[in-house]
Chain A
Amino acid sequence: MNGRVGIIGIGYTAAQPTTPYSSFKELMFEAAQRAYFDAGIDAAEVESFVTCAEDLNTGLSIFDEYTPDQLGAVQKPMHTLTQDGLHGIADAVMQIKSGLVEVVAVEAHSKASNILTPDWILDYAVDPIFNRPLGFNPHALAGLEMNLFLHETGITPQQVSQVAAKNRTNALRNPLAAYPARLTADDTAAGPYAHYPLRETEMAQTADGCVVVVLASDDKARAAASQPLWVRGIGFANDSPTLESRDWVHAEYTRIAAQMAYRMAGITNPAREIDFFEVDDTYAYKELQHLIALGLYPNRPGEAGRALEQGLTRPDGKTPVNVSGGCLGLGWTLEASGLYRIVELVLQLRGQAGPRQLPGAKMGLAQSWRGVPTTSGAVAILSSEQKPWE
């Protein structure tokens, strides 16, 4: 057995502002059925299951108890990570590479519309002694970060507005997207400040949805019904989360996760070797910060803004970023965000992305961030081609 791991199936529901017609279990069942069908396997052939969920987002303690029935995971190994879905992909890769199992399903979903007090949930993530008593909305932490990020890199507020306009517009070509809109940077720059310098139009809105991804060993992947995509690199990392002394400018968690993934994939020049990127844009400036951390602009971080202005990160540019619409256009699906990026990678690499298909895309990168107040990130690199020397 070699160490290759392939993605052999994806199943998903469209991201929607609300999903009153389905319980979270019914959403998961739908996505799981689609994923197993896509992979050409029965649920019984999946040997291990990973779900990514946060108890406080689901409103259920010990949420992993609520997941086996609708995934076909009864009497099977399964566990839940309180992480973004990309960490679940990393988990599955480790299970397969270790030789423990050969087929793993990874699930994440969002029922964000069921949370009536989302900002209180976010407040619960903030330190109860040092920070919570101050009483401000925790999204303001993104305002703090954006302010120093712009100050240090020279990236302009106008460029950040342009990220929001680009991604909402990209979403017009994605039938899965919840918030498509034909917007210009002037439109988004006209939005009111939510947490200066961050505008309301530059903050992703939550959406409901579910994704299931099936991964398999080399042998199983070659025999799969759908074209397998190879996990060429995977990485994850955290920085110090302390708000009083953290690095507000650099997304170190992403830089380190990317270095892990690049090392595994043998990538030395990501801008040249990777065809397209799906990165976290929960707040519009984060797209630029994350691209810098991924090493796309090694000489000067300010280039991130200029590349955007020159249209290089548009779908028809040299380095397309968030062709799916990102969180801003598709919707912020909480823990499922990373898996929606995997869906976009798989569709593009299979040539199934319809009107937003990137010609000749062979390798794509997905990156996730766990949101404020965290410094938690993950990176996955997928390719339609196996590493030649493996």
Chain B
Amino acid sequence: MAGQPTNVRGTPVRSADLKKGRVFTTTYVPRIQYAWDTGQAIGRYLEELKNGRLIARRCNNCQRIMIPPRMFCERCFGPTHAWVVVKDTGTVNTFSLSYVSWDVRRLKKPEIPAVIEIDGASKGMGILHVLGNVSPKAVRIGMKVRAVWKPAQQRTGSITDIAYFEPIKGKAPAAKRTAKKPFKAKAKKSKSRKRR
């Protein structure tokens, strides 16, 4: 076809060419550091992780108990109202068997990230963590799990103060889960409040 570019023979580049400087490249290693303010909600959450317990926030408007805690409710767009200590047990909401590490090595034994719905928090509210002490083949959605905490003196106020979640022996996975209805924001049609 007219106008179609023809493939031209290129010049192969080998790693030795790069090492010996036959091909020009520029490298740069960024030296960038941050220290994020945790603020009220996350600050308290981390403090309680160090204490070996999970804490959530309740919105009195929609009655949801939210974990990780936040000072505002994203559904009601108002402040949340109270701290609520929740259990360190829960249910596997979803999981993956991850056979490739973050630095792209193939793993024989997969990492098992999972979202765990926490007992005492509202339906659908969970924390993302990893599962341990379980055969990858045995992991199921709906499986009951509990937090395995690091020893108190090793805890630093971090999500890794929980080493992993492990299955609760003798608790069979829930037979069937009802599908969760997707959240729909209510289109509030309130009149403008005249204040002045």
Contact = CB atoms under 8 A, between A and B. Distances in A.
* The 7 nearest A-B residue pairs measured at CB: A23-B39, A69-B74, A44-B188, A72-B77, A43-B77, A59-B34, A116-B33
B36 A23 contact: yes
B193 interface: yes
Contact of A74 (B28, B74, B79): B74
Contacts of A56: 32
A374 interface: no
Nearest to A19: B37
A26 interface: yes
Contacts of B74: 68-70, 72, 74
B34 A26 contact: no
A69 B35 contact: no
Contacts, number: 100
Nearest to B25: A129
A22 B195 contact: no
B4 interface: no
A114 B35 contact: yes
B26 interface: yes
Contact of B187 (A23, A44, A115): A44
A69 B70 contact: yes
Nearest to A71: B77
Contacts of B192: 40-41, 45, 223-225
B42 interface: yes
B186 A22 contact: no
5 contacts: A22-B39, A26-B39, A44-B188, A74-B74, A116-B33
A120 B195 CA distance: 47
A45 B32 contact: no
A174 B75 CA distance: 35
Interface in A161-198: none
A169 B70 CA distance: 39
A21 B43 CA distance: 9
A24 interface: yes
Nearest to A132: B28
A385 interface: no
Is the contact region of chain B dominated by helix, strand, or loop, or is it mixed?
loop
Is the contact region of chain A dominated by helix, strand, or loop, or is it mixed?
loop
Interface in A1-58: 19-26, 29, 40-45, 56
Contact of B34 (A69, A72, A76, A114): A114
Interface in A130-184: 132-133
B19 interface: no
Interface string B5-33: 00000000000000000000010101111
A177 to B, nearest CB: 21
Interface in A185-240: 223-226
Contacts of B75: 74
A29 B72 CA distance: 7
Given A45-B188, A111-B37, A124-B30, A29 B71 contact: yes
Given A21-B40, A44-B186, A68-B74, A117 B33 contact: yes
Contact of A120 (B31, B39, B41): B31
Contacts of B180: none
Given A21-B37, A111-B37, 6 more contacts: A23-B36, A23-B39, A44-B186, A111-B36, A115-B33, A225-B195
